[in-house]
Amino acid sequence: MGMLLTLADALSNASASLLESVDAKIAELKTMRDTTTDPSVRAKAESSLQKRLQERSKLEVQAQQRATLSLRGGPNLTHTIATGRRFICRQGMPICIQEFDGESGIGNSQKVADKPALSDDHIKVWALPILPSNNSGNRTRKRSHDEFEEQVPSSDSSKSSDQRFKDQVTRQAVVSEMFNSDWRMDTLVEMPIAEVSLPATLFVRNPETQEIQPYTGPKPGDSEPLPDIMVLVRKPWPGALVESLPPTSPSECAMSYIIRNHDVRGKFDAKKAAALGVQRGPDYRKLTENQSVLSKNGQIITPDMVLGESRIGKGVAIIELPSVDYVENLIARPEWKSTEVMNGMTAFIWILGKGVGAHPRLQEFISTMSQAQHVFSSPDYSPNDLTFRAVARSTMEFSEIDSARYSPPKYVTSPRSNVPRPEICVAKPGMVVNLEPEFSIENSQTERNIDINQIKRSVGDTVRGHVDAVRQKFNEILFQTKVENMRQSIPNNDAEIITLGTGSSLPSMYRNVAGTLLRVPGHGSYLFDCGEGTLGQLKRVFSPEELKEVLRELKVIWISHLHADHHLVIKAWYEETFGSPQQKTANFETNLGQFLSEKRLCIVSDIHMLDWLAEYSHVENYGYDKIVPLAATSYERSSGYISSVLTLHRRDKNGLVQEQFGENRGEWINFDSPKHQFMAPFQAATGLSSIFTVPVSHCQGAKAVSFTFPSGLKVSYSGDCRPSEAFTRIGRDSTVLLHEATFEDDMFKDALAKRHSTLSEALMVGKEMHAKVIVLTHFSQRYREMPNIEKAKKTGFVPKFRHRKSPGFVMPNAVRDIPATEETQQGLETSDIADDLSAKEDLSLQKALGDDVPVILAFDYMRLRLGDALHAEAHMPAMKEHLSASEVEF
């Protein structure tokens, strides 16, 4: 889905850029036309203006008539993309999806096997959907008569096929609305205020001026009576209107592909054509296009009479075999006997599960294809080498400066075992397989091993001098006293914060995907956001045995806002705790007390993120049956106190929300009542005494959170957001604040536009929160340098509801609507930072924080013990000096 978003945004940005360029020229021509006194210049400007206006109209039409993007893949591809409808809404990129189900993979006629699934002007592609031999569950014995009859078409089979077709049409329609929607943010619909579903931004039309203005009066759920008026609300995007997708089930189908270039025709021999009496011009062209022509004397001239020998297009097969159960059905594919498919086959790229590469039947098959080069990518042979080498190199450099916080990532460069045949080589990152004009495997772009000695040399003498000075400081009585006082003031000072990734939602050259692990001895492990690559980052930080321990003690995953791929860590936790995921249970459980008494993993997030996890579990059984999905909701009392509730949010086996305790609500945990029936089971299951959340300004469903432990340890995490005054209230007196600081202060407008925080804003949140330790993360990924804390300035919070009194405590009904821009919940609104940085430049934020509040700028793989925060802060200047001085080639 990330690639689809990238393509959609690239197309949109390209169109917008072209239109902006034309609009600028149009404005220039209008100015010239309206200001000149020369009639000839005015006429020329008007003529050029009309041409530009026509050009703009054509560009708008082209933007609306873009070519459809076609996706082809295995079963459930459409369903998987459709699960992202709650957090994807793009325009102008129609998508058409074709799925291969694998049901007709064995026994295809040779004629069908010869026909490619895709053919264009460049390549031909054959799709090979492969099911495991034990797909029926009875791989080793013959089928009984009853089992055979189950596969015989019955009168209901056509109805089932019709229903599957209708379900697929529904999913395709959802995907179409996700990427080719006509929804607009400025589209408003009128309705009675009493019928508005919150959260939503309300507007009214001024009866005198007819201007649209924000509505500031009582809203549904407030203690004040509602006026009998019509209000304007933004039309929800299409994804908000689809409550649930048609049910599906996991597929064991593994997709493989054969790609071939087209044959290249032989060279046209003009002398032969002339000798045969072919007329120059169109007849020459027809012969090159494989058409016969008549010569001057009436003889039929065929292309083979004037063309040289054709060059057969070369091909490559990309084969995935997750287990040995797929080998037999791969070998039985009819494509291997097809001349049309196999002519020119020069390479096989094998993506293999454990134990597959050495399987005798696979080796026998490879021996019959000895004319081709075979490339293995397999955990049995491929080394556990680094993927993001620039990030790893930075960590190694930091380990030379602050070895207590940074250690070289875990990796291995040597092969795990030798490949079984000489014609097999092991895949490497950057390896290139050249098919044309001559076949070759090129390793010139593969990454060379990192030179540890070179990394040591990259840390200059000046930086090492700073490091030596810092270490001498650690021996001073004053510093040791300060450290001891801080450790005594911090509960669980042996707790460890591990910043697995400090970038955003995609890995970059310098920073991995955002994710933070909290380990509290005696309580458990806790993940704050985990996305694509988080499991890999855990494997870089911990040895295999340590990772098993971390996963076993994992208690809670907090997901701050809507984005996918969180299931990967859940699956790893499940496999380490219970073994491989089994078939999903048909029983739908809703007993929160029972859940908390069992060995389960709590997933806490916005309700729509939990819906995504539930819907995706019908595509892949990653362990959803063993999680406790808790929807986070918060409300504000009239006193300003913020209450937080976690509600069990489960879906039944068909993916539908259960209707209990009101609309879409299950049993809940109320942290305002220590004697609440689920408080004790919750504390026993999670090691936490409370979880408080507030909505923040970033995207739909974005929230900040505070975890509190029975010992008094309090960890607050902002996620991605603008600064929030409400967050400072739930996080008051936090032991540690983890806050994003995407932009430096000179990019304040970018922070506003993209709904992130600046460095000063993040520090100000820590000051208002009275946090004992501040860890800043989620920096801009474009630069390697550290932001300048010394220049941070005070800023001020301005609550959005300052013009009306706090609405008080009212628990709303469940939210079905998705607001377009305002991420607020009933009774609580986010706060914006005052845009008056320049007016307060003389107020040093670092001085306001004082020397007793360490501020740590996090990089990937940092391991920070809370009791050592002052030590980590003391190394910051040396790290900053190193980054400023080093010129590293990656």
What kind and span of H or E run contains 636? strand 627-636
Compute the distance between CA of residue 330 and CA of residue 129 in angstroms, rounded to an integer: 9
Q: For residue 845, count other CB atoms closer than 10 A to its CB.
A: 23
- The closest alpha carbon to 32, from 619, 694, 24, 144, belongs to 24
For 622-650, letters b (16+ CB in 10 Å) and e give bbbbbbbbbbbbbbbbeeeebbbbbbbbb
Quote the tokens at residue 226.
Answer: 């509602």
Q: Return the beta strands (E) in 46-154 as ranges.
A: 69-73, 95-99, 118-119, 123-130
Q: Are 170 and 225 in contact (CB under 8 A)?
A: no
Q: Are 206 and 114 in contact (CB under 8 A)?
A: no
Count of all residues that appear for the chain in the document? 890
pLDDT digits (tens, 9 = 90+) for 549-605: 999 999 999 998 875 555 667 888 888 777 775 555 545 556 777 778 888 899 999
426's CB contacts (< 8 A; 6+ apart) are: 375, 376, 377, 381, 382, 383, 415, 419
Compute the distance between CA of residue 719 and CA of residue 740 in angstroms, rounded to an integer: 7
Compute the distance between CA of residue 758 and CA of residue 77 in angstroms, rounded to an integer: 39
Task: Map residue 644 onto helix, strand or coil.
Answer: strand
Amino acid at 620: E
DSSP character for 517? E
CA 319 to chain centre: 26
User: Which pLDDT belongs to residue 102?
Assistant: 63
Q: For residue 472, count other CB atoms closer than 10 A to its CB.
A: 10
Quote the tokens at residue 19.
Answer: 């239109």
Long-range contacts of 842-850 (CB under 8 A, 24+ apart): 843/793, 843/794, 844/792, 844/793, 844/794, 845/760, 845/763, 845/764, 845/767, 845/792, 845/793, 845/794, 846/763, 846/789, 846/790, 846/792, 848/767, 848/794, 849/763, 849/766, 849/767, 849/774
429's CB contacts (< 8 A; 6+ apart) are: 385, 387, 446, 447
Q: For residue 880, count other CB atoms closer than 10 A to its CB.
A: 18
DSSP character for 785? S
Compute the distance between CA of residue 427 and CA of residue 233 in angstroms, rounded to an integer: 55
**230-234 β-sheet, strand order:** 188-192, 230-234, 202-205, 212-214
Task: Map residue 9 onto helix, strand or coil.
Answer: helix
For 573-585, letters b (16+ CB in 10 Å) and e give bbeebeeebeeee
pLDDT digits (tens, 9 = 90+) for 249-270: 899 999 999 999 988 878 888 8
Q: Are 306 and 280 in contact (CB under 8 A)?
A: no
Quote the tokens at residue 101.
Answer: 């189900």
- The closest alpha carbon to 374, from 427, 327, 436, 417, belongs to 427
Compute the distance between CA of residue 148 and CA of residue 141 in angstroms, rounded to an integer: 13
Compute the distance between CA of residue 250 and CA of residue 589 in angstroms, rounded to an integer: 20
Match 């801009």 to its residue by tokens.
Answer: 780
Quote the tokens at residue 484.
Answer: 């001891």
Compute the distance between CA of residue 851 and CA of residue 853 in angstroms, rounded to an integer: 6
Q: Are 608 and 239 in contact (CB under 8 A)?
A: no
Compute the distance between CA of residue 495 and CA of residue 853 in angstroms, rounded to an integer: 17
Q: For residue 401, count other CB atoms closer than 10 A to its CB.
A: 20
386's CB contacts (< 8 A; 6+ apart) are: 392, 409, 411, 447, 450, 540
DSSP character for 719? -
Angle value at C-alpha 157, between 151 and 161, nearest 5 degrees: 115
- The closest alpha carbon to 93, from 3, 185, 186, 187, belongs to 3
Q: Are 474 and 500 in contact (CB under 8 A)?
A: no
Q: For residue 305, count other CB atoms closer than 10 A to its CB.
A: 16
Q: What is the largest CA-CA distance in the chain?
A: 109
When computed from its CA atoms, the radius of gyration of the chain, rounded to whole angstroms, is 32
Pairing of strands 95-99, 69-73: parallel
Quote the tokens at residue 331.
Answer: 């070998």
- Answer yes or no: pTM beyond 0.75: yes
Angle value at C-alpha 768, between 765 and 769, nearest 5 degrees: 80
Cα-flanking dihedrals φ and ψ of residue 195, to 5°?
-95, 0
Pairing of strands 188-192, 293-294: unpaired
Quote the tokens at residue 51.
Answer: 């041409």
Compute the distance between CA of residue 562 and CA of residue 605 in angstroms, rounded to an integer: 9
Compute the distance between CA of residue 547 and CA of residue 518 in angstroms, rounded to an integer: 14
Match 């054959």 to its residue by tokens.
Answer: 126
Torsion of CA 262, 267, 268, 269, to 10 degrees: -160
- The closest alpha carbon to 72, from 119, 142, 136, 131, belongs to 119
All residue ranges of the chain with pLDDT < 50 are 104-108, 136-159, 586, 653-664, 798-842, 888-890
Q: Are 127 and 254 in contact (CB under 8 A)?
A: no
282 vs 268, 278, 293, 298, 304, CA distance in Å?
14, 10, 10, 16, 17
Compute the distance between CA of residue 501 and CA of residue 534 in angstroms, rounded to an integer: 8
Amino acid at 387: T
Q: For residue 665, count other CB atoms closer than 10 A to its CB.
A: 21
